[in-house]
Structure 1
Amino acid sequence: MARFDRYLLSQLMMLFGFFALVLVAIYWINSAVRLFDQLIADGQSAWVFLEFTALTLPNVIRITLPLAGFAAAVYATNRLMADSEFVVMQATGFSPWRLARPALIFGLITAAMMGAMTHFLVPMSQEQIVLRNRDIAANVTARLLTEGTFLHPAGGITVYIREISEDGTLNDLFLSDRRRADRPQTYTAAQAYIVNANDDPEGAPQPKIVMVDGLAQDLNTETGRLFTTHFQSFSYDVGSLVDTSDFRVVSVRNLPTWMLLLQTQKVSNLTGEGIGWVVQEGHGRITQSLLCIVAALIGFSALQVGGYSRFGVWKQIGFAVLLLVAVKFVEGLVTDPVRKDPDMWPVLYFPAVLGLAISAGLLWWASRSRRPRDRAFPPDAPSDRPPGMPSGAEASGRAAATGVPA
């Protein structure tokens, strides 16, 4: 690579790292706040929270990569134009096509990063998130071991524990089961314990709450009668409080790209998704990498259009943003047709082709030959000259003779 290419590429990569760090931090903090409310409220430890925030990082990076590449291309190009560095390079004979070579290489680098995210890191992290969600949902004990708070481990279930002793004893337990609207049940106990009972020798142990010295209340809403039962010990199955059937380990987001593209029917049967959804997910991962190239080239080429202005290139920057929004809008339009008809998968690449065509058109417009300014009264059009006014040649001759500029 030429020295200027290395210089411009280094500027692009440095700014790309800065914008990527800022955007990832913003998105990551927002997702971390939601995870904190969800996990800590359910009684999970801080280690589980850190694990989930780390697993969401690849997907956050995947979202911010095109935006960071576009911002880096726009900022670097604007700064080099403001410092007249592009003017110097154009004076040495560099065309806009030649100047765009480092931007293209920068786009290929970001596309390679996006490919690593979409094809490897994001599916692996999503699969691990699903597995951990299933483990947490099945771990009812962690949800219940929170004192002084009304907990809702499942719909219609309310649990309150006044105090948890160091040996694990639950003091003053309140449990309300309203999953059946016609027969709500309420249990109170002075003490309770969570144990793992294995009713099925071949199955996994199921957690149960053993209540001691308590009261069970059963209300029949049809008759309005309340039945109360005092008990010395009573066991309540808490393994059924959480339904883990919705946590499907196998999902199109968790599978590798080659499997989505080469074993489409098998993936559809395995995940329960339509063939169109599988095809769109597979080819969509490829188009996301191509859009990184498009974002970098649009950010660079849009600023090449237009002449010098002391007000800067804000119009070109706004124009570049509109072009990128238009490409993303087209990307959203081509998604639904492919999900309905898998044979239309080639249209998924139309946004990338459109973005590359726009970039090429902008570079062509920037490199077109500049027409010289039209003279007010050209010498070869005497009929358009007012009477008595000398032609261009005559004015030049008089200026040479008298020494006064024409």
Structure 2
Amino acid sequence: MSRFDRYVLSQYLLFFSFFALILVAVFWVNRAVVLFDRLIGDGQTAIVFLEFTALTLPNLIRMVLPVAVFAAAVWVTNRLQSESELTVLQATGTSPWQMARPALGFGLITALMMSVLTHFLLPSSIGQLALREQEISRNVTAKLLTEGHFLHPAKGVTFYIRQIDSNGTLNDVFLSDRRDPNQSMTYTGARAFLVRDEGKTHLIMVNGMAQRLDNRTKQMSTTNFSDFSYDISSLVNKSTITQRNIREISSWELLRNREDINLSDGYSLGALAEEFHLRFARALICIAVALIGFSALMIGSHSRFGVWRQALLAFLLLIIVEGLRGVVSEPVRTNPDLWPLIYLPALIGLVIAVGFLQLAAHPLATRRRARRTVAPLQTGRQETGS
């Protein structure tokens, strides 16, 4: 690469990092608020919240990476045009194909990033995230033993502990169970203890009262007890059959063991074929959007109003290419033999970029001027000959 190509490529990477950071931060804040409420509300620590946040970042980066590539390509190309750098190159005889080399290199680098992300980082992070979620869901102590807070370990269940002594005694316990639509149960106890027995966890409440409200007749009955055992293992959602997330499965396993995955995890062969080829198609999309962002801004002539029309055209093409990805997925899920359709959006994007570069290299205005110049000459020759 020439010195100018390296300079342009560095600008692409610089602004790509900037746009990726901004987009990831915006999406991360929206998701972190929900994640924070769910984890901290269930009694988890800030360390667990940070761990879950880190594990969700690869999937978040995968979503915003093509948009960041497109934004960087359009921004840098517009900047080079506004500062007349591309104009100088065109005046020295540099063709649009030669000026597209940094954009192509930028697309290849981001495609490599996307490949590493989809083939290695994303499956590992999703697998680790699923493992940590199972560990936390089985940890009854972490979900319930938080003093001074009203917790909701399951839908329709509210649990409260005023104080926890150093020896593990729970003081002033409140438990409301509203999962049965016909009746609501409320338990209060002066003291309580957690007891494990054969894989189950029981809450033993001492010196308390049980209140039963019949939701149909609106009648309430109360019972005082000296000790009462309540099985809280049901408050933790357990699943005897755990199905792996399809994005958790490694690419090598998708390539070699699709039949086994179909039997063990229940995913159809079409869904497995779509996921496998989509990981490669996402890398090609990065190359396509980088070239579209560059080539679309090269087809317009100089205007004092800027290149907003070309930028709008490039943005609409990006929406079309991204929309086609959803259109071609359904046929592949139905028939795995149609897997080449997964690459169709990326190929269409590349064809559009090549067409724009060809149009920039041979603009229609130049052709029309040439025709207008040739026509009078031909007419003059005919008159001279006659």
User: In the alignment, is the contact (CA less than 8 A) between 1:141 and 1:207 conserved in 2?
Assistant: no
Secondary structure of the corresponding residue to residue 300 of structure 2: coil
Larger radius of gyration: 1
Question: Structure 1 residues 223, 20: closer, same or farther in 2, change over 3 A?
Answer: closer
Report the number of matched residues. Answer: 377
The Cα of 1:218 is off from its aligned counterpart by: 4.3
Work out the percentage of aligned pairs sharing the same amino acid. 53
Match of 1:311 among 302, 305, 308: 305
Measure, in 1, the Cα distance between the counterparts of 2:229 and 2:175: 12
Measure, in 2, the Cα distance between the counterparts of 1:333 and 1:359: 21
Bigger proportion of residues as helix: 2
Question: Structure 1 residues 250, 344: closer, same or farther in 2, change over 3 A?
Answer: same
Q: Which position in structure 2 is the counterpart of 1:78?
A: 78
Task: Report which stretch shifted further, 318-327 or 165-174.
Answer: 165-174
Secondary structure of the corresponding residue to residue 304 of structure 1: coil
The Cα of 1:9 is off from its aligned counterpart by: 0.8
Q: Which position in structure 2 is the counterpart of 1:290?
A: 284
Q: Which position in structure 1 is the counterpart of 2:358?
A: 364
Task: Report which stretch shifted further, 223-232 or 96-105.
Answer: 223-232
Equivalent residues in 2 for 1:301-380, closer than 5 Å: 301-368=295-362, 370-371=366-367, 372=369, 374=372, 378=376
Match of 2:248 among 242, 249, 254: 254
The Cα of 1:249 is off from its aligned counterpart by: 5.7
Measure, in 2, the Cα distance between the counterparts of 1:244 and 1:7: 55
Q: Which position in structure 2 is the counterpart of 1:156?
A: 156
Task: Report which stretch shifted further, 212-221 or 51-60.
Answer: 212-221
Secondary structure of the corresponding residue to residue 215 of structure 1: strand
Secondary structure of the corresponding residue to residue 93 of structure 1: coil
The Cα of 1:229 is off from its aligned counterpart by: 3.5
Measure, in 2, the Cα distance between the counterparts of 1:302 and 1:348: 24
CA deviations over 1:374-397 (Å, ceiling 9, x no partner): 47x947668xxxxxxxxxxxxxxx
Gaps of 5+ in 1: 200-204, 383-406
Measure, in 2, the Cα distance between the counterparts of 1:240 and 1:379: 93
TM-score (norm 2): 0.91
Secondary structure of the corresponding residue to residue 240 of structure 1: helix
Equivalent residues in 2 for 1:212-223, closer than 5 Å: 212-218=206-212
Measure, in 2, the Cα distance between the counterparts of 1:80 and 1:185: 70
Q: Which position in structure 2 is the counterpart of 1:39?
A: 39
Q: Which position in structure 1 is the counterpart of 2:134?
A: 134
Equivalent residues in 2 for 1:184-199, closer than 5 Å: 184-195=184-195, 197-199=196-198
Q: Which position in structure 2 is the counterpart of 1:170?
A: 170
Measure, in 1, the Cα distance between the counterparts of 2:221 and 2:113: 65
Q: Which position in structure 2 is the counterpart of 1:93?
A: 93
Question: Structure 1 residues 78, 208: closer, same or farther in 2, change over 3 A?
Answer: same
Secondary structure of the corresponding residue to residue 234 of structure 2: coil
Question: Structure 1 residues 78, 247: closer, same or farther in 2, change over 3 A?
Answer: farther
Q: Which position in structure 2 is the counterpart of 1:123?
A: 123
The Cα of 1:240 is off from its aligned counterpart by: 1.6
Q: Which position in structure 2 is the counterpart of 1:263?
A: 257
Measure, in 1, the Cα distance between the counterparts of 2:378 and 2:218: 108
Gaps of 5+ in 2: 381-386
Measure, in 2, the Cα distance between the counterparts of 1:316 and 1:223: 69
CA deviations over 1:290-310 (Å, ceiling 9, x no partner): 101011000000000011111
Measure, in 2, the Cα distance between the counterparts of 1:190 and 1:208: 16
Question: Structure 1 residues 7, 162: closer, same or farther in 2, change over 3 A?
Answer: same
Q: Which position in structure 1 is the counterpart of 2:270?
A: 276
Measure, in 1, the Cα distance between the counterparts of 2:345 and 2:180: 51
Secondary structure of the corresponding residue to residue 180 of structure 2: coil
Secondary structure of the corresponding residue to residue 253 of structure 1: helix
Q: Please tell me the root mean square deviation across aligned C-alpha atoms, in Å.
A: 2.4
User: In the alignment, is the contact (CA less than 8 A) between 1:294 and 1:352 conserved in 2?
Assistant: yes
- 2:62 partner letter: R
Measure, in 2, the Cα distance between the counterparts of 1:113 and 1:267: 27
Question: Structure 1 residues 279, 379: closer, same or farther in 2, change over 3 A?
Answer: closer
Task: Report which stretch shifted further, 157-166 or 66-75.
Answer: 157-166
Question: Structure 1 residues 322, 149: closer, same or farther in 2, change over 3 A?
Answer: same
- 1:185 partner letter: M
Measure, in 1, the Cα distance between the counterparts of 2:322 and 2:354: 18
- 2:26 partner letter: I
- 1:150 partner letter: F
User: In the alignment, is the contact (CA less than 8 A) between 1:130 and 1:249 conserved in 2?
Assistant: no
Task: Report which stretch shifted further, 313-322 or 92-101.
Answer: 92-101
Measure, in 2, the Cα distance between the counterparts of 1:220 and 1:330: 54
CA deviations over 1:20-69 (Å, ceiling 9, x no partner): 11111111222211111111111111110010111111111111111111
The Cα of 1:234 is off from its aligned counterpart by: 2.0
TM-score (norm 1): 0.86
Secondary structure of the corresponding residue to residue 247 of structure 2: coil
Question: Structure 1 residues 64, 220: closer, same or farther in 2, change over 3 A?
Answer: closer
- 1:94 partner letter: T
- 1:151 partner letter: L
Structure 1 residue 10 corresponds to structure 2 residue 4: no
Measure, in 1, the Cα distance between the counterparts of 2:277 and 2:269: 12
Secondary structure of the corresponding residue to residue 66 of structure 2: helix
Secondary structure of the corresponding residue to residue 242 of structure 2: coil
Measure, in 2, the Cα distance between the counterparts of 1:352 and 1:6: 26
